[in-house]
Amino acid sequence: MPGGGVLLASSLLTLASTSVQCTLPKAPEIEVVPKTAPTAYDYTRNLQDLSEIKASTVSPYGGHTEQIVFGLHEGTMNLSYETRMGGTVWEEYGLGCLYYDKIKVTLELNPVIYVVRELKPGSCPHRAVLAHEEKHVKVDRSIANKYAREIGLALQRAVDSVGVIGPFHLAEMEARQAQLGEHIRTVVGGIKHRMVEEQLAAQQAVDSLEEYESISHEISDVCKFDVNKKLKRSLSELERRREPNR
């Protein structure tokens, strides 16, 4: 009969599936590697150089106020990962199983602090600016440490929720591998998004109006540093370069 072959093939697949048991040979290995480099310091840039670098935070004085940038910090966190899968294949049945074998995540932070060269290293105003930028680095290190732990926990939950998949037809192997890869990509991508948002919010909190007013007070009143007088030439050059081309 025309339908007999289909029924027979279906029966054979059922019998093969009962003979194939997908098991997890060992717990998946999850490795999170935080790489936080020592802070690098650059005192070679002038006022013009730093004014051209876009800061990640918004000035508490608003966008319509011209700011003199004495210091900046860079703290981009790079998140990368590798996924290794394991599996078992039964060629005689045309079936296979897949599972996560190892997931390695690397979280890199390379902080850099800039202080304009017009402020002599070791001077009172230089120390004031440097202390502020160090607060930014401290925030970055705290965020990196927090998310290194969170990444490990999130990935553990992710692999536990999957366990081992199969048995499935070997023709589906590529699609199943992509499915497992997408699962980890989604988890890591969600964590990275939350990490960047929290980092930006925490850095913005450092650049508060109170903090800016405190630094200004320290430079002018504690350090007795008259910015307009002592940096007159640099400020004039900065202002000249800011003028639109005629």
Mean pLDDT of 106-134: 95
Give tens-digit pLDDT for 51-85: 777 666 666 655 545 567 899 999 888 999 999 99
The span from the first CA to the last CA of the chain, in angstroms, equals: 90
Sequence-ordered alpha helix ranges (H) in the chain: 4-19, 47-51, 124-162, 173-206, 209-217, 227-230, 232-242
Q: What is the pTM of this model?
A: 0.80
Mean pLDDT of 135-149: 94
Listed by start position, the domains of the chain span 33-77+106-152+178-242
Backbone angles phi, psi at 73, to 5 degrees: -135, 145
* 16 or 89, which is more confident: 89
Q: Are strands 112-115 and 40-42 parallel, antiparallel or unpaired?
A: parallel
Residue 51's pLDDT is: 79
Mean pLDDT of 35-55: 87
Distance CA 218, CA 207 (A): 16
Residue 2's pLDDT is: 44
Averaged pLDDT of the chain: 86
